[in-house]
Structure 1
Amino acid sequence: MLCFYTAGESHGKVVLAFLEGIPSNLIVDLDFINSELVRRQMGYGRGGRMKIERDKVEVLSGVYRGKTTGAPIVLAVWNRDWENWKEVMDPFQYTREKFFFVPRPGHADLPALLKYQYDEMRPAIERSSARETAGRVAAGAVCKLLLKEFGVEIASATLSIGKVRVGKEFTFEELKRADESPVRCPDDLVTGKMMGEIDKAKSNGDTVGGVFEVRARGVVPGLGSHVQWDLRLDGLLAQAMMSIQGIKSVSIGCGWDCWDRYGTEFHDEIVWQNGVKRKTNNAGGIEGGISNGEEIVVRCFMKPIPTLMKPLGSFDIRTKEKVQAGVERSDACAVPAAAIVAEAMMAFVLAKAYSDKFGGDSLQDMKASYEKYVARLKAF
């Protein structure tokens, strides 16, 4: 069974990703993984941390002579900023204090402190930070390489920043060009307005959220299942997206844009055109928890980053006195970068679905099972 975990702190030595269940003999493209890490650091509105880190992955296990072995893969993304923090963050040889006693509204600070009985909130800040997503993106890149063997592509784009929204639906090819925009929006006119929205928030000591869309093309019908609640593909995707820092809502297909339509306006007519096709894709490629062969479409709604240069009210956990919330280095907007993390999470969910359905200890065995299944579908 395909699974992955991450470890590491925002200002610790390293962010690690542990990926288990990738079949043997998959060629690992190190340049591709590193290019995905670069994409995660892109985006107008990012903070000063991005000027320090130049993320590159180091493969610690599970790959031999450029190919996976079937053993667990461990990926390391080393933190350059560790040199500035080691006196604070070294697990044992700490010599400097940088305690955090005032919780920030909207962060994990206070809930984590209450749950784990911390003395102060530095441990919560370090682990809940979106720096953790460097590990997700590295693992997701390996999953993308696996999916590529089955003809699956994943792309994303920003649909809104604050009150600025796109007024059209992008094609998949347009989504693939999103990286050409500073905010990852394939509309030049809207890109400028989105940048202005970020500038406005930043100049006011504020932050701004938005919406992005992530899609997968070439996904075979039949992933997921209707027979149990925890096997539904849309449920798995929604959970994966909601796990990303800052995501507060997820929709599949047209979702929020279609909730007020009648059934005759919403559902996708089925036609036969040398195979099963649908005239529209309001369902977002998933019906009854099962992929139907159309593009899988997921939209994520991201809240404004809760670390504010103009902080909200809070209290000191030592004295219980009312004070302004603490301030840490942060971004003004991370919507474009969050979409890259969402691509990685979609890649993991789909790679796991392919692995669950087609199995195989080696890539060759997995492909043989897949090709047999596709032949059955073609004979329908």
Structure 2
Amino acid sequence: MISYLDAGESHGKCLCAIIDGIPSGLNISEAFINNLLALRQSGYGRGGRQRIEKDKIEILSGVRFGQTTGNPLTLKISNNDYKNWEDIMAPFATYTNQKQVTKPRPGHVDLVGYLKYDRNDMRDCLERSSARQTAIRVAVGAICELCLKEAGVEFYNFVSAIGDAKANIDYNDLEAIRNSLNNELFCPDLSALGLMKKNIDEALKNNDSLGGVAEILVTGVVAGIGSYRWDKKLDARLALAVMSVQAIKAISIGEGIENAFKYSSEVQDEIYYDSDLKEYKRYTNRLGGIEGGISNGENITLKAFMKPIPTTRKGLRSVDVETKQECLSLYERSDVCAVSAASIVVRAACAYEILNAYLEKFGGDTIREFKNRIRNYKEYLKDK
């Protein structure tokens, strides 16, 4: 099992995380991590903050000669914007009400965090809940991915909807899905890309924001990961991970939402035996590669539904907590649309949960042990 703790504020000095439980001997690629960090910062509709920050990972412990040692890994990403906020964000800065937040944004943590933690400035809450935190989460997920690559597991992320513009996705065309990371919205359907960009332009024109659907596809997961125990179900764990990503308000495993409106005969994935591969296979994958909380060997697919970002330039009706008078909500520099970035974060969240489920089943203090146990398990499955 692995665990991690992350810390840091949006305009603080840095973001950091400590990961415990990564097997020793894993080759760490800074280029792989930094590429995912760069992808998180890209995407049509992103805000000005992305021109300030150039996220790069710094590994402070747990890696020697490019390999994990079995000790906890300490990760750091510096915030370039800190120099502009140091006078009010440094831990022992002199108290000031400069940039104090008293006008909460509907749909954000501002008001509920203010009530829960009894702070006189909502900035203490919104700085931590900011999507800036997802940078370090992507770095953690990237290391989990590197470990799962050794087990033959690969991750793909893409965007299938922005507002009312929806893409047609061929889930069997992995090359098109992989190559979608080269376009501005990570959308495999190039015919839908223009409509998505038009929707974002319209939202910007109206001083508004826009959400959409980010999807994850995972290949190579062996059958038997997870459990039918309620607290160990793989789909439940993925749901928790995905729903913990900022602005995600719903998740669908496979065609989960669509399946609710169909007959059973139109939903279940019928089974056959491939005598050449010596594997049980499904004719379809409507359930997204998970049955009864356990992976079935098919690709794992899920959709994350992202609401529009709560920060809008035109503001929304709110109340100033100091005066109790009606007002418009605060505008903090923000994105118009961040669904493409969210797809990278959701990918990282899923990588962490799937690696944990793998380590739960196979264990191993070293990457060699880990891989050998998976190899033996795959041979065992062929005898079933």
Same fold (TM over 0.5): yes
Q: Which amino acid aligns with 1:336?
A: S
Amino acid at match of 2:199: E
- Alpha-carbon distance between aligned partners in 1 of 2:68 and 2:282, rounded to the nearest angstrom: 37
The whole-number CA distance in structure 2 between the counterparts of 1:252 and 1:5 is 27
Going from structure 1 to structure 2, the CA distance change for 1:69 and 1:61 (only over 3 Å counts) comes to: same
1:225 counterpart letter in structure 2: S
Give the share of equivalent positions with the same residue, in percent. 47
Asked if residue 242 in structure 1 is aligned to residue 246 in structure 2, the reply is no
Aligned equivalents of 1:232, 1:88: Cα separation in 2: 44
Residue type of the partner of 2:319? F
1:61 maps to amino acid: S
Residue segments in structure 1 that go unaligned for 5+ positions in a row:
none
User: Structure 1 residue 68 and structure 2 residue 68: aligned?
Assistant: yes
Secondary structure, counterpart of 2:381 in structure 1 = helix
In the alignment, what sits opposite 2:355?
A: 351
Amino acid paired to 1:206: D
Tell whether the 8 Å contact from 2:14 to 2:78 is kept in structure 1 after alignment.
yes
List aligned pairs for 1:156-195, cutoff 5 A.
156-170=157-171, 171-195=173-197
Shift of 1:183: 0.9
Q: Specify the alignment match of 2:156 in structure 1.
A: 155
Aligned length: 379
Map 1:1-380 to 2 at 5 A: 1-94=1-94, 97-170=98-171, 171-226=173-228, 228-274=229-275, 275-380=279-384
- Write the distance in 2 (CA, Å) between the matches of 1:156 and 1:29: 20
Cα distance in 2 for partners of 1:354, 1:219 equals 9
Distance in 2 (CA, whole Å) between partners of 1:167 and 1:272 is 30
Q: Distance in 1 between matches of 2:113 and 2:184?
A: 34
Report how far residue 17 of structure 1 moved: 1.7
Which letter does structure 1 place at the counterpart of 2:355?
Answer: A
Per-residue CA deviation, residues 242-268 of structure 1 (Å, 9 max, x unaligned), is: 000000000101112222110011101
1:68-103, CA deviations, whole angstroms, 9 ceiling, x for partnerless residues?
A: 011111110100001111111011134752210111
Contact 1:40–1:340, Cα closer than 8 Å, also in 2: yes
Shift in Å, 1:168? 3.9
The one-letter amino acid of 1:217's match is: T
Partner amino acid, structure 2, of 1:210: G
Asked if the contact 1:140–1:345 (Cα under 8 Å) also holds between the matched residues in 2, the reply is: yes
Counterpart contact for 2:186–2:340, Cα < 8 Å: yes
SS in 2 for 1:77: strand
Contact 2:169-2:188 within 8 A present in 1 as well = no
Question: For each residue in 1:102-151, what CA deviation from the matched residue of structure 2 results, as whole angstroms up to 9, or x when unmatched?
Answer: 11000000111111001110111100000000011000000000000011
What letter is aligned with 2:217?
Answer: R
**Which residue type is aligned with residue 117 of structure 1?**
D
User: Would you say the 8 A contact 1:223–1:357 is kept in 2?
Assistant: yes
Q: Matched residue of 2:99: which SS?
A: coil
CA contact (8 A) 1:86 1:94 kept: no
Deviation string, structure 1 residues 220-279 (Cα, Å, up to 9, x no partner):
1100001x2110000000000000000000010111222211001110110011221100
Deviates more, 1:178-187 or 1:91-100: 91-100
Per the normalisation by structure 1, the TM-score is 0.98
Distance 1:219 1:94 in 2: 52
- Contact map agreement 1:37 1:55 (CA 8 A) in 2: yes
**Judging changes above 3 Å, is the alpha-carbon distance between structure 1 residues 81 and 299 closer, same or farther for their aligned structure 2 residues?**
same
Q: What secondary structure is seen at the aligned counterpart in 2 of 1:81?
A: helix
Equivalents in 2 of 1:40, 1:18: separation in Å?
20
- TM (norm. structure 2) is 0.97
2-side partners of 1:159 and 1:68: how far apart? 36
**Structure 1 residues 210 and 83: alpha-carbon distance in aligned structure 2, compared to 1, 3 A threshold:** same
* Bigger shift: residues 255-264 or 288-297: 255-264
CA deviations over 1:186-205 (Å, ceiling 9, x no partner): 12221111000000001100
Q: CA RMSD in A?
A: 1.0
